Every structure is written in structure tokens, then in C-alpha cells.
Structure 1
């Protein structure tokens, strides 16, 4: 059964495959360039591959999808019967992906709401799931019971059917608003063994100020305003990870929350941290441990440990 509103994201959301399939989400991959080889994130290169390339000191860079790649995704949505698209992506402060999506949206055969989540990883992933939930609850879906009413579709992207006869573009705008609301309440905190990989990729922002003392501190960073910003400086890796745990517990409070623990080549750190959070967060609903993909891995390096706190 087709949906009036199609959902598109990019490969840096790191959504579980089951969620992608269940909600019919189209995932547009970013690219990782290792030496002279261009590889699709999550398709042609794995987290293990990028960690090994970084350790071998190979040149690793990343690139956004082309506007044509997004245009193809939007055309496919229209051909499948969608009347509008919500396209939710990695922060524009970290990637040109949103710009590429907007260029494609301007020429798309149906209305497209492009949303800059100002987040990345499962912080972005939770925003995409919020969009899927909004669509499934009636903002843009076709659940059994007939939100589109007895009159059915009247054919065309601008048609008015379902949800009280509302235009598909209006429904897509509602979904985008739900995404923006969830994004405002999500926090992401992370620890890296070294700032060197962020420096190489130019994603370091105000954390550049930490470089002078990078050998004597272990930095804790966070996402703020769509950028990677310094949060605290801690003297040892063990103290930094303990502090990351405390920050996550404080941020979660007593509210109902979903938590994702991300890592790159550091499952031995991520799994124990997840278990401690499971024991300490009273309102925990879902807790997932996920290794980041190659694009984010290329910028943070092996040893990354991150916690995403997403209030319900």
C-alpha cells in the first residue's frame, strides 16, 4: 500500500535495517573516498574498513550525494504513488547534503520538504523515526480505515484527499514540523581518542581551541547549533568515559527517553557503558548500541564513544 507522503534520509542516520524496511524509508548514501576510490557509505565500505584505513594512515575523505541522486529518489517516490516527500538529513553545518537535497527538491515532480535536522547519527535517526510515526499516525499515511475517505485519491501531487481533505504538501509540512520538534529535544555527546581526524576533515568548529592541549586532555564534545563544539576537557580516557555517562544520565533525567550508544571499533567500551545506562536511567524506553558508519567514522576515528539521548 502506497503512502501519500514518502520519507527520504541519508546514510548518516544509521537506522537499523528493520526500521528502514518497516517504514519504507529511502536512504541516500554519502560517499567515502579512500585514496582514489569512491565508495558508497554502508553499501561498499564498512565501519571496519574505514577504521583500518585510518589506522594505516591512508587518505580518507567524504563527499555529499549529488543533487541528481536526490532527484532520482524523489522521482521514484512520485512513481510509487507518493504525492509529497519529507527529506530529513545530516546537519548542514557538517555536510553539503541538505544543499544537494534542496537543489533536487526545486526541480522535483512533487512537493518536497527538506529538513536540516542539525544532527547526525541516531540523533538524526530518531528524527527520521519521528517523521515515520507522524506519517503512520495519519499526517501522511494510508492506514487501514481510510484516512483518505470514500472519495479516494483525486490523482496528482496537489490533490486533496484524506485527513479532512488536506493537501499533501500541507501534510508534509506537518510531518516536517514534527521532525523539528523532536530534533530540538535530542542531545548528542561524544568522546574521541584524538581530535586529529576531526581537524583533518574540517569539522572541528570551536573545538579547534582544544588542539593546543590535545596531548594532555581527552575532549568531550557535543552537537550544538548543528556544529561540533567542545563541552569539557578531562585528563584521562577512563575519566572522560565516566563523565560521558554522568552527562547522559543528567540529560535523561526522569523523562521517558530512547538512548543510543555509538562507537567506532570500540565495542569493548560501548557495551559496558550501555549496561550502566540501562541500570541508571529510570525512564529508559529503548537502548541500542550501534557502530557508526564509514562517513562519520572517517571524521572521528577509531575509539569514538557517543551517547544520543532522545526524549519521547
Structure 2
């Protein structure tokens, strides 16, 4: 159980943190990593303690209410976080919700998780495409980007980005605490809370010091993600999607699919309006990102069947 938490905690944070903090890290690369880590750690600590205090020791915001702790632990449960760890190291943005929670979920709940996640991709894709068709010429053109880089309104956007990042980070944590804490009891003592929080903050420090690692490329290759205004808008749109759609019910969902859908819709809209000559290349990029998350889903399903085979065989 403890080993499972340690593996899942590191793998989930390393894979998913780039969805929420990737643009924040990129557009604030001139700041020392410890400052960015301290800011993100403060938001995480407050979000975790809030759920623990107001939900009677539950830190998952009720996302684990329908996923009980197994009566008997089996070594094969560790295959899920180990596979996630490997996929993260090679830069595949796999859904941590699928690969971790599906091991512990009933068949009916797995279907609901998949359905909610696929709808999340579609909603994010369409919403981002429509929004960026409207704003791309004013926000993402070379002239507009250079104005921000040269200092016009930059202080406003710096404040806006840190605020939007705090909002987005807290909404992501509400969704993904379930993936991190699924190996632990559903009600944590204050001692367990302190130790688990300390471990998570250490893992985050390692990731921030690496500036995201290999999987950061999912964000860094997208248009203008190092520009602070563009990064702020991505964070804000993503946060609103998680806040509205993610909280529509307590069924866990893949934030990865929502994030990839958002980037895909944004990239296509920007290319269609501002860079038509590169639209074929962008289409390939969008297709490759979708292929990666679908691959992650297939791997997750295979691992779930493998784990259940080992459990039933023994």
C-alpha cells in the first residue's frame, strides 16, 4: 500500500503537472525554480488541507467514494504506477485516471470515467477552436506577441497568469488527488496527511528543478506557449473547463484528455487564421498527440486486465 502510494504519487505528478503548470514554467523561465515551486506548493497545501478538514479526513473531494480500498492487496497493483512511470519518462501524456483508478474501479464506473473523459476532449477541442477563431488575430499574431514581449501591459499579464495558474492548479488537484491517494485509506490521520504532503512537495521540487522534464515538450512545441499572455489564456480556459465540466458530478475524469483537446483546438484555430501554410504540420501534431493519449488508454486497459488476471489466478 505504501509503495503503491509512493510510486503513484511520483508518477501522477510527473505526468500530469505539465498540464497545469507547463505554461507557467515556460513563461516564467527567468525566475528561479524554487520561487515557482513555492507558489505551487502553497496552493497544493491549502487545497489538500481544505478537503481533509471539511470532508472528515477525505482528501479526494469525494472522488474515491465509489472506489473502496481493496480488502486484500496484491503485488500486481504496482504494475499500474510502474507503467505510468515508464510512459512519463518517454514523454507520453497518458491519462493517470485511466491507468491508476481503473485498477480499483468496478466495470460500470470505468465506462463512466472513459465516457466523461472523451466528452471532455470534445468539449475542450470545440470550445478552444471557437474561442481562438475569435481572438487569434488580436492575441496570437506576431505583432501582438511582440508588444507583450516588449513590455506593453506585461505587468498586468504577469499578475493575471499567477492568478489563473492558482485557479487552474487548484481545480486540477481537486480532480487528481484521487489518483494520488487511491492507495491510502479513504480517511487520513493528521500524521498520514503530513507525511503524504511532505512526499508530494519533495516530488514537486524535483520536477520544478528539471523544468518539467521530457513530457514538457507536449506544451513547449505549441504556438506562443512561452508568451505570458498566451500562457495565461491557456491556463484560464483550461481552469474554467475543469471547474464547469469536471465538477458536474463526482465521477473521476482524465484531465489529460481535456488538456490535449484544448491544445488541439487552439493550434488548429491559430494555424487556420494566421499560418495557413503550416496547417498540414499542425494537423499532424494534433493527430500525434491524440494518438499518444489513445495509446495510453489502450495500455491502461491492458494493464487493468493483466492485474485482474493475476489477482484472480492467485
TM range, normalised to the smaller chain?
under 0.3
With normalisation by structure 2, the TM-score equals 0.25
- Structure with greater helix percent: 2
> Which structure would you say has the larger Rg?
1
With normalisation by structure 1, the TM-score equals 0.25
- Structure with greater strand percent: 1
Higher relative contact order (CA 8 A, sep 6+): 2
